[in-house]
Copies of this chain bind each other. A is one copy, B any other.
Amino acid sequence: MKTIHDSAQLQNWLKRHQLDEIFPPDNMPKMRLVSMEAGEQIYQTGETLQKVHILVKGKLKIFFLQEDGSIYLIGFNQSFAILGDLELFEDYPLHNEVAAMEPSILIEIDKEELLRTCWDYPPFLRFLIKHVSQKFHSSSVKANALSRYPMESRLAAYLLTVYEEENQSVSFVKTNRYTDLANLLGCSYRHLHRTLQQFVENGWIEKSGRHIRILDYAVLKELAKDISYI
């Protein structure tokens, strides 16, 4: 993560996402513009929140890291998102790990600084409420969907999401270790494998090592129902 020393650009981003409206003009918190390269990660697991980040450009992947090291995909953030909003007023230990999927630009604000300047600024507080409410809503809808569909559907949904979000151009889904994918989908490695193989046998995907090519987009879409990892 590198700091971009360019206050004009910072102003630009603030304007573009109407962030200038949520901070008190006469008491702006100090912020830094930072860039992340594709693949770069912010590790925060276990600690308490120190900095709040606002994604203004690029795409992020959000993980949930468990004690045993296994990883769950939570979702993707694109163009605009806030990281750390939930933990701003409540000191939960962080569980999320964030990785940039493409070169991304974020605004970084120190938590204490943000609280000091915006503690009493209603537009900021309303902004926060809106975002947390939205997160809550989409997360419960997602959780509900995830828990009631079979692996087949969840896998289809996952493949489509990653395919669409990550590298449509290549029409390949690159996975990490399949063990991680299994954890992410909430099933055993064995079962993931079985299901993948079944997809291959049905001609829906093509698989070589950790590369998966989507062959029948429509069928997967049908299988995925309304599940979405976004």
Interface set of A (CB-CB < 8 Å, partner B): 86-90, 92, 119-122, 125-126, 128-130, 132-137, 139-140, 143, 146-148, 186
Number of copies: 2
- CA gap between A89 and B129 in the complex, in Å: 7
Contact residue among B126, B143, B148 (Cβ-Cβ distance under 8 Å from A89): B126
- Which residues of chain B are within 8 angstroms of A128 by Cβ–Cβ distance? 129
Interface centre among A128, A129, A137, A143 (most CB of B within 10 A): A129
17 further contact pairs, Cβ within 8 A, besides A90-B134, A147-B186: A86-B137, A88-B133, A89-B126, A89-B129, A89-B130, A89-B133, A92-B137, A119-B122, A121-B122, A122-B122, A125-B126, A128-B129, A129-B129, A132-B136, A136-B139, A143-B147, A147-B147
Closest chain B CB from A34 CB (angstroms): 25
Cβ-defined partner of A129 (8 Å) among B125, B140, B148, B186: B125
Contact A133:B86 (CB < 8 A) given known A126-B125, A143-B140, A143-B143: yes
**A136 close to B186 (CB less than 8 A):** no
Q: Nearest Cβ in chain B — how far from A143, in angstroms?
A: 4
What is the minimal beta-carbon distance from A101 to any residue of chain B, in angstroms? 23
Q: Which residues of B have CB within 8 Å of A134?
A: 90
Asked if B133 contacts A90 (CB within 8 A), the reply is yes
Query: Residues of B contacting A140 with CB < 8 Å?
Result: 139, 143
Specify which chain B residues have a CB less than 8 angstroms from the CB of A87 in the assembled complex. Answer: 133
Complex CA gap A107/B36 in Å reads 48
Residues of B within 8 A of A148 (CB): 186
User: How far is A210 from B137 in the complex, measured between Cα atoms in Å?
Assistant: 34
Q: Which residues of B contact A186 (CB under 8 A)?
A: 147-148
